[in-house]
Structure 1
Amino acid sequence: MAVVTAREAQDWLIEKIAHRMGVPTDDISPEVYFDELDLDSTEALILAGEMESWLGFELSTTTLWYHPTVKDLAAYIAEECGRRAAIA
């Protein structure tokens, strides 16, 4: 499994969110809370599935609760990738 940096995860998230919302990537701040984004539950589930496919592991259902911004989630993803790579 490849280790994903926080910057790579942040860029990936911003690109996917912007695409789903039909806006330029510059319109998505890393500091924005997910619940402030105009994504419906179906789009959020699709995004989570794409993220899990990209990462190669499942995220818990509480991940967004504990990491509510793009920046926070990206940092968590990098940390989790590093942890998983270390035990692999």
Structure 2
Amino acid sequence: MAAVTASEAETWLIEKIALRLGVAPGEVSREVYFDELDLDSTEALILAGELENWLGFELSTTTLWYHPTIKDLASYLAEESDRRATAA
């Protein structure tokens, strides 16, 4: 499986979050903290599950805690995806 780039992960996250919030993707900042996005815990869990399906690997329950913005999370996801693709 090919690694996901930070840009691809950012785009994916922004599109999914915008859909959940009912706003245009351009209204979702990559710098805003997830806890400021008005996603309830159920929506966050659904989003995490969709993200895992898209990536093809599980995320730690603390991933969003340690990578609290779209920009930070996308960068981490690209690194993790690359590591897994290289190891495969």
Question: Do the structures match in fold with TM over 0.5?
Answer: yes
In 1, distance between residues paired with 2:52 and 2:46? 10
In 1, distance between residues paired with 2:16 and 2:79? 20
Is 1:43 the counterpart of 2:60 in the alignment? no
**Cα displacement (A) at 1:2:** 1.9
Is 1:30 the counterpart of 2:30 in the alignment? yes
Kindly, what percent of the aligned residue pairs are identical? 76
Tell me which residue corresponds to 1:8.
Answer: 8
Matched residue SS, 1:14: helix
TM-score normalised by structure 2 residue count: 0.98
Structure 1 runs not aligned, ≥5 long:
none
Tell me which residue corresponds to 1:70.
Answer: 70
Cα RMSD over matched residues? 0.5
**Cα displacement (A) at 1:12:** 0.1
TM-score normalised by structure 1 residue count: 0.98
Matched residue SS, 1:45: helix
In 1, distance between residues paired with 2:2 and 2:40? 30
Amino acid at match of 1:29: S
Aligned residues: 88
**Cα displacement (A) at 1:20:** 0.3
